[in-house]
């Protein structure tokens, strides 16, 4: 397999790893045992409404975490060989977020929240913007893809190594 063929497989491979981690983080809350998950089935359709928390009006940390965890989705969608139009990327980001929230509700393992859908979608859009900034900065999508792939590869190895340490420690 030559260098070009390896490059063609690396982005989809990293994307699959990212999607597995995304499901594990969003749906399974980084738990190693299903029995440790909250068995809660609730749904909140009021954006930025935090029930049963007196004095809490806004969870900035949760919002920033949701934006950060979905930014790579927007970046990856821009890196594919046949990059979809913005409307399709937006639909995929929104659909992924909605599907994960619905899955939490169906499996009764978390709180489904419209705020999460909104902030996740904003994160995906931020990822698209970041990708286009990189493409302009490096003056081509090909160079931007190489840099982002290198960064994603390093981040994936670090995250996988950290998770391996957690698995061994537990």
Assess whether pLDDT exceeds 80 at residue 18. Answer: yes
* Segment 81-95 mean pLDDT: 93
**Are the beta carbons of 41 and 108 closer than 8 angstroms?**
yes
Asked if 155 and 16 touch (Cβ cutoff 8 Å), the reply is: no
Structure tokens at 102: 């619905």
Whole-structure pTM value: 0.85
**What is the average pLDDT score of the chain?**
86
Is the confidence at residue 22, as pLDDT, over 80?
A: yes
Cα–Cα distances (Å) from 42 to 3, 80, 104, 114, in that order, read: 49, 36, 9, 11
pLDDT at 96: 97
């Amino acid at each position: 397999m030559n260098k070009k063929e390896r490059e063609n497989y690396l982005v989809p491979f990293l994307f699959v790893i990212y999607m597995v981690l995304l499901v594990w983080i969003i749906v399974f809350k980084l738990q190693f045992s299903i029995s440790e998950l909250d068995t809660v089935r609730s749904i909140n359709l009021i954006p930025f409404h935090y029930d049963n928390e007196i004095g809490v009006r806004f969870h900035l940390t949760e919002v920033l975490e949701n934006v950060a965890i979905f930014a790579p989705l927007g970046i990856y969608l821009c890196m594919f060989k046949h990059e979809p139009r913005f409307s399709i990327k937006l639909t995929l980001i929104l659909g992924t977020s909605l599907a994960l929230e619905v899955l939490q509700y169906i499996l009764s393992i978390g709180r489904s929240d419209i705020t999460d859908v909104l902030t996740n979608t904003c994160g995906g859009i931020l990822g698209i913007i970041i990708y286009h900034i990189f493409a302009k900065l490096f003056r081509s999508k090909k160079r931007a893809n190489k840099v982002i792939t290198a960064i994603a590869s390093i981040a994936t190895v670090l995250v996988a190594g950290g998770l391996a340490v957690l698995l061994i420690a537990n």
